[in-house]
Amino acid sequence: MSSLHDDVPVSAEPRTPAPSTTAFPTASTSLQRFDAYRLAVAFRRHVVRWLPLRRPELSDQLDRASISVVLNIAEAVGRTTPRDQARTFAIARGSAIECAAILDLLELESANLDLSAARETLGRVCAMLTRLVLRR
């Protein structure tokens, strides 16, 4: 009895195994090489050192906005069309600008926080994200 696949040659070679979960570190490694992502993580590192803040609403907002910058950059890198990438980079940029506004408010309320290094890092993130949005 013959089957529908009798005319398909059978190879003695073993099949290539399906991709494993080891593909993920490659994506993570390429993300680590993305400058805007690395700088966003560096800014987040500043934020984590300051938390919790004296004002819980600012603490919560800065916490969420700084996380949003990092995660939206990662999401944009994973997008496949330039339009989707630009939209997601723009969302990350909005969160970064929100972080800048929170730093302004913190400066008014806490003279003991040195925000200069964080501001510089965040400024570089914003500049990179602006270029990424405009070039797509």
- What domain range is 44 assigned to? 34-135
Residue 14 lies in a domain: no
Written in H, E and C, the secondary structure of 11-55 is CCCCCCCCCCCCHHHHHHHHHHCCHHHHHHHHHHHHHHHHCCCCC
The 10s digit of each residue's pLDDT in 22-73 is 444 456 667 888 999 999 999 999 999 988 888 899 999 999 999 999 999 9
pLDDT at residue number 75: 95
Q: How many structural domains compose the chain?
A: 1
The 10s digit of each residue's pLDDT in 73-115 is 999 999 999 999 999 999 999 999 999 999 999 988 877 888 9
Residue 13 lies in a domain: no
pTM: 0.77
By the 8 A CB rule, do 107 and 113 touch? yes
Residue 2 lies in a domain: no
Q: What is the DSSP letter of 9?
A: P
pLDDT tops 60 at residue 6: no
